[in-house]
């Protein structure tokens, strides 16, 4: 896949390197004169110096043939403009913009522009750590509405059927790790001491999950 990443800061650089590790073709757009030094000698992609919403710079980066565009600069305004140009003018199939302002992120998601708000994500993770410390939230989906939760089965579950923890539309046990081997549980699977559980949980149902697990509320 041919991907253009605008902005080679902490987020843009990590995205670019993840893509390169998977053998995708990556072009970086960055206006910083020190971008070359930040790329390092082992960087396998291309660097175009300039502004990611400049038509000439985008064409130089190969926007007409790009299959994905990531707007990950430090400026919300620049990211919005560049992402809209990539999607609406050059019709890039996959466009994602990083936005710091959660309100802007929500507005543009409603308009059909996929966005990632690091502010929202960070706040949600801090909230989960403070209020649900016994449960390790590995990942959130969408705007944080759904979480992937990892925890060791509490004693209150030992001997109970997995279906007693599943709540349609709210909580689902997606896998169990037992004796270092993972499997997908089915009706009739009992929880055992030492089980490591992975659950998909609606964020609004976290307190209900604590009740089901026999955990004390904070």
Structure tokens at 199: 């659950």
Check residue 218 and give its pLDDT.
Answer: 44
Q: Is 185 exposed, middle or buried (0-12, 13-18, 19+ CB in 10 A)?
A: buried
| pLDDT value for 118 | 67
Question: What is the per-residue pLDDT for 217?
Answer: 46
Closest CA to 129 of 118, 141, 113, 140: 140
Q: Which residues does 181 contact at the CB level (< 8 Å), separation at least 6?
A: none
Instruction: Look at residue 188 and give its three-state secondary structure.
Output: coil
pLDDT of residue 205: 86
Ranges in the chain, pLDDT < 70? 35-38, 118-137, 143, 215-218
- Give the helix ranges, DSSP H, for the chain: 10-21, 35-39, 55-61, 76-84, 102-110, 118-131, 206-213
User: Would you state the pLDDT for residue 130?
Assistant: 46
* Model pLDDT, residue 55: 92
Instruction: Specify the DSSP class assigned to residue 205.
Output: G
Per-residue pLDDT tens over the stretch 131-167? 444 556 677 777 678 888 888 888 888 999 999 999 9
């Amino acid at each position: 896949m041919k991907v253009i990443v605008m902005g080679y800061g902490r987020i843009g650089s990590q995205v670019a390197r993840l893509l390169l590790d998977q053998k995708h073709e990556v072009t970086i757009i960055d206006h910083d004169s020190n971008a070359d030094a930040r790329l390092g000698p082992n960087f396998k992609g291309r660097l175009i110096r300039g502004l990611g919403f400049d038509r000439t710079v985008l064409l130089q980066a190969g926007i007409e043939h790009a299959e994905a565009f990531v707007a990950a600069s430090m400026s919300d305004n620049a990211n919005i403009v560049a992402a809209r140009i990539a999607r609406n003018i050059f019709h890039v199939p996959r466009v994602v913009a990083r936005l710091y302002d959660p309100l802007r992120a929500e507005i543009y998601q409603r308009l059909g522009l996929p966005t990632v708000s690091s502010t929202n994500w960070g706040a949600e993770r801090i909230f989960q750590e403070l209020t649900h410390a016994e449960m390790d939230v590995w990942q959130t989906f969408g705007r944080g509405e759904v979480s992937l939760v990892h925890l060791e089965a509490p004693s209150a579950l030992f001997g109970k059927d997995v279906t007693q923890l599943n709540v349609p539309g709210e909580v689902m046990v997606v896998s169990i790790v037992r004796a270092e081997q993972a499997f997908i549980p089915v009706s009739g699977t009992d929880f055992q001491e030492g089980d490591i559980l992975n659950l998909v949980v609606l964020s609004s149902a976290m307190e209900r999950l604590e009740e089901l697990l026999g955990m004390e509320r904070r």
